[in-house]
Structure 1
């Protein structure tokens, strides 16, 4: 027998005895997974330096996400319905559901630090493993299942569940908080930013001689109480809440309640009805709202000192964290900022900022989600008015929780009401467009620090859209006849 024949027989014998082992080692992608991946929406602008490697990792993650879903749907017989919905792009298809609060978690247990994320592969835990917040973990990423698959098959630029709303005939929509959640991507729609009606502004003949002083609660001393126990919103507006135990896509679950602080002082409530109306207006002019290029500006402070440059936010989702990576359009890293006057308390606090806070601007609403292992503390007059709190209220957001801190429609209604009360009422609304937020350390009567300027690390957000709208309204109403100066 020739050498070639011996080699061939030897190879065949080895292949026969190890066939099963080799098939288990070599990666295999089922045809149905390949078909579903063929309908994946690609994000634009993903090239550039390092783009190839990043795209390769993204492709692997998408494949794992689809494989995990296919495995679940094969058990329930809903796989054909998913493929029908995706290939026909039809919203009249049936719900495609997976368990929500008791779903399997795909991946390893949640790590404590960013450096501990596991990227080795996809693992399946037993049916008894519970996901308290209803999230799936695929490889090193976690997310709400309907968000993951809507991002995969419809909107690659999707950031959060706040951007989605279910269609009317979806029986297992995420917001219904049932034991199963629908992941049919065509049972959800993107939330559209509502068009704010123009404000009709009177041109006044009698003008204030100087700008009125703004109510300033910076140096007030808030008291603390629990939210929402015993507190009900003083209006018909009831904010939409996430399901019990739900926290942000990246945050950890927490059963703590939000804490809020009440101011003990007695400054005038931020209500236009407390101001006397002005009846000597002339004609009415419509002033419209327009979205600016940068929806907010963020300034960072340590105690009472401003540190670093102002961050201008152009993306609808951004994080403010304590890491030292270079900042970009979706990330403001505080770890790189230096301060020669920084003391030991500030240094220690900065180490605990961690993943910080994520801010969303979606559909005319601003949300804050605490991604840090320590709480954040927010002072938002717009949020406070929604719940009937004092304007100076400070709300504690525990790790992983989220809070709506501004609503354009609520602000528009208040502005329309205030223009009938005169220049002073409109000018007072400037305060509503500023939001203060401290990391790790809070302030109030139950804290050693009683003012925000006493907290080691805090940021101040200026909402540019509402501020520019106010400026246009005030300009239409007329400037003071005597310009303000150091001598006025």
Structure 2
């Protein structure tokens, strides 16, 4: 009996090594191993299922059975620091290395137990066979995932330094007098790392390299920032940032963002942009490599909200959150991406647009006396 268990343990160890080595792309080794360990634990007592999985990965385009696990209450699985839908985890691991979320997958006709995002409490099995799912063509993905992006070949609006000032734009007429038009803080999970970066140039680059600030005043190089408590998952993301992102403040006060990386996706949340395009405030936008969003901050819409004649002190104060933009590298957050908060992602930025905050202060000073008079 002991010999049988020893042989079984040895076979599982060999199988685990093979399955891990079949991974696609550059997924973090720790995450890959944990994902495989989780699956082996779920499948090891099911006769022949692990062997079936190995055959699927060895002969991917032959007909294959469903490889199923029981769904959890919220239908997700926790692997290291990420909580995701299981079929997404294993499709990314073994087939689609750049897969971001379940919206990008559709079950094949041969799958008997496909993943369902609905409230189907009768679903007892979920198939994680990566070859029972196909990639959804990018042109039919939901708009909540892909923002309105500008193609790399589209010439961008020139930055402020290349524009003539507009004296007839009262809402942003004084923004060039501020010492910095935005401030950027860098975080690793919930910990702020390094000093705040103040953008004095209208064109800013945030990259993963190691160029000192004093040499390039328009460049925030994250590779310089040290963190003695840095986790392994953070290092993996930092290595992929590369050319990073570009931020441009345009002459009308709008702000655009471009993903300059050759390999790293960027995820962006801007409440003001979401209101501009009619999305939910908390929508997270996937910005693929070499793509851009022009009005991630739209000065015209912001001015309308600030100058609303029916606005109250409280409603103007609430506009503060519209002056902030969150950007994460490599991994998204929110319901579609398996991370509840941006603080669950390894590397991210908080970008604060300063001129709108100045306008809010001025508007609040106008409303403060009225509020005091009303309360008396």
The TM-score, its normalising length taken from structure 1, stands at: 0.41
- Aligned partner of 2:236 in structure 1 is 348
- Aligned partner of 2:304 in structure 1 is 413
Q: List runs of 5+ in structure 2 lacking aligned partners.
A: 1-83, 85-100, 105-137, 157-169
- Aligned partner of 1:126 in structure 2 is none
Cα shift at 1:248: 8.0
SS at match of 2:320: helix
Matches of 1:400 and 1:407, distance apart in 2: 21
Return the match for 1:382 from 272, 276, 288.
272
- Aligned partner of 1:365 in structure 2 is 254
Q: In the comparison of the two structures, how many residue pairs are matched?
A: 217
- Aligned partner of 1:34 in structure 2 is none
Return the match for 1:324 from 210, 224, 240.
210
Matches of 2:346 and 2:352, distance apart in 1: 20
Q: 1:448 and 2:338 equivalent? A: yes
Q: How does 1:214-253 map to 2 (within 5 A)?
A: 242=150, 246=153
Q: 1:469 and 2:359 equivalent? A: yes
- 1:441-472 alpha-carbon deviations (Å, 9 max, x no partner): 11122323221001000000110000111011
- Aligned partner of 2:314 in structure 1 is 424
Q: List runs of 5+ in structure 1 lacking aligned partners.
A: 1-220, 234-238, 250-285, 482-488
- Which is greater in Rg? 1
Matches of 2:360 and 2:102, distance apart in 1: 32
Matches of 2:299 and 2:246, distance apart in 1: 19
Matches of 2:245 and 2:142, distance apart in 1: 26
- 1:416-461 alpha-carbon deviations (Å, 9 max, x no partner): 12x5221111011100001000011111223232210010000001
- 1:106-161 alpha-carbon deviations (Å, 9 max, x no partner): xxxxxxxxxxxxxxxxxxxxxxxxxxxxxxxxxxxxxxxxxxxxxxxxxxxxxxxx
Q: How does 1:98-137 map to 2 (within 5 A)?
A: none
Matches of 2:190 and 2:267, distance apart in 1: 17
Q: How does 1:49-448 map to 2 (within 5 A)?
A: 242=150, 246=153, 290-291=174-175, 292-327=178-213, 328-363=216-251, 364-372=253-261, 373-404=263-294, 405-417=296-308, 419-448=309-338
SS at match of 1:420: coil
- 1:394-422 alpha-carbon deviations (Å, 9 max, x no partner): 101000000020111111012112x5221
- Aligned partner of 1:23 in structure 2 is none
Q: 1:457 and 2:341 equivalent? A: no
Please tell me whether the aligned partners of residues 323 and 352 of structure 2 are also in contact (alpha carbons under 8 angstroms). Answer: yes
Closer, same or farther: CA 248–320 of 1 in aligned 2, 3 Å: farther
